[in-house]
Structure 1
Amino acid sequence: MSTVNETVNGTGVEETAWSQTEKSVLVPILSAEMVLGALGNGLALIVKVVRRNQFQCIYWFPFASLTLSDFSCSVLIISGSLLAVLTGGQRSPWCELVSLLKFTFMTASIGSIAVLCVQRFLGVPSTGSGLSVIMALACLASWLTGIIFGAVPVIYDWIKYDPSEMLCAVFWESSYSDMLVYILCAFSISIFIPFLLMLFCPLLTSAGCSKNCSRSQDDLSSVTPLIVMFYLLCYTPFAVSELILLGRLDLSPSPDWLRTLSSVMAYLDCGLNPIIYCTNQDFREAVLGLIWTSRKSSLPEPVLTSMRKLEA
């Protein structure tokens, strides 16, 4: 998707004025993704806390971590992109913070899904064993890893606003070797290893090689294959964009339309996960029960105002 009227202000932040046609397409899409992600994941978090006894969730820690990262991305990152489209850019220090948070939430999401796949394959519940503590630490490590690798470009001042991605991102202008080292380290540790776990553990589980302690389809972990499938689908444009960047020795970024598509699709994944959770019948009933209870509590109670004695 092309942009027009690009300029660079005194702070080195690139700004852009989107055409009215582009805004008319992007603003509704980003608004819908933000609302769907924020409300859906917010409701999912409430259900997992308030109604946790109404559905079975053996591997609750990676589910909670994934939902929290999706909710945070919807509230902070998608809203930031929407505001950038409307106002024409992002400025420091919000610019650098958005870049750090986006990588953190993306790494936390794939790390949480990978831990969920491993727990489901090994049959390790989130409570009651030493392995469950290791799995919880692995989820926390994915958040910490995202913060570390997200902070490196900020420290070295590699960040500026990218109108095509609709937020501040890493730009390379000097050294191909620096870019190659950073991307290979970040992706091999934060992305590639979780990707392999996320890909092969569900396949082994489906093939019957799992030590899963719960074969019941009622458990919320039954939605894991759908979560993995849609995650891979939504992040394919992002992966292709980074591969194109690695293949260009002149450090030129991938096409504008591909970078825009990668952001839109990544944001979509945040809003799809709560819908995927609801494909589990027990979780869906817990959501409906929470909404119905809240609706009933908001209705006024009938009040006795008068009595009339009936004579025989």
Structure 2
Amino acid sequence: MLCGTCAKPGQFMLAERPLPQAAPDGWVLVDIDAVGLCGTDFHIFEGKHPFLDYPRVIGHELSGHVATATGDWPKGLPVVINPYLSCGTCIACRKGKPNCCTDIAVLGVHRDGGMCARIAVPSGNLYDASSLPKGAAVLTEFLAIGAHAVRRAAPQTGDTVLVTGAGPIGLGVALFAKARGATVHLRDASSARLNAAAGFGFVHLYGVTDPLPQGGFDVVFDATGNARAIEGGFAHVAHGGKYVLVSVVKDDITFSDPEFHKREMTLMGSRNATATDFATVMQALSDGTIDVARIISETLPLADLPARFPALVANREALIKVVVQIGGQT
């Protein structure tokens, strides 16, 4: 089978590997139908990801169908794959937080991912996707990142929320914050991204030089992946508010301790997602709360990706979600 592989920064290729024919006990073989491209994949291509060794088969936003009947998983069942493989025994796992397991292995990052015809995953990392509309399953993982960040911050009805970074992850944060009744503001350097956000009904939109409302926000989310933007976000948190760092950068982050303390600010990281967040997203996709067609910018076959990858990375601001088609189902 051909596997979408970043051999080194700036080099993406299709590498041939054997098609898996068996899975370890407790694991399930899944034939991949579609893979979503995201900022993580772009950062891998650019050599900016802090937790990765090359070469790496990318792909962690995955939908597929069961290749071989295993346990309670019948052959052909459409599934969403949770790409966060946890140890199950560390302190985080024991506390119900496998998303930040001390020995986590994320498909497509710490270990080879699913941009290929078939992959084996633990049965506990599969979710039945048979209730989802066509094309929706592949969107679940990236939206779960936003759902998790919002659940962590727990904004209330009437709270004001600022999401800095209106790319796919920031958009997911905004959608789930809005669903909780918050008034959502988005800020981004890209007018294209702000225009895309407007298509989802958001009206409080700001460029990086536009003035923001006085008094700060109850919750500020950073989804920029930019160290300077992260540092600048501290100033926009209201007294008693929360600052949630969804994006990750290699840099050290500094902030004014007096400002932090006088506001009694809560600073929290948000990493990956849990089964609860996947369920939240799948319900929103099933009931039509989230418009699948509006999110998918383009679908292309795996064979076209090596030639297209550099341009997709360069033009990411104009895209919400690019989906790479692997198998015949979606």
Which of structures 1 and 2 has the larger relative contact order (alpha carbons within 8 angstroms, sep 6+)?
A: 1
Give the TM-score, by structure 2 length: 0.24
Larger radius of gyration: 1
The structure with the largest strand share of the pair is: 2
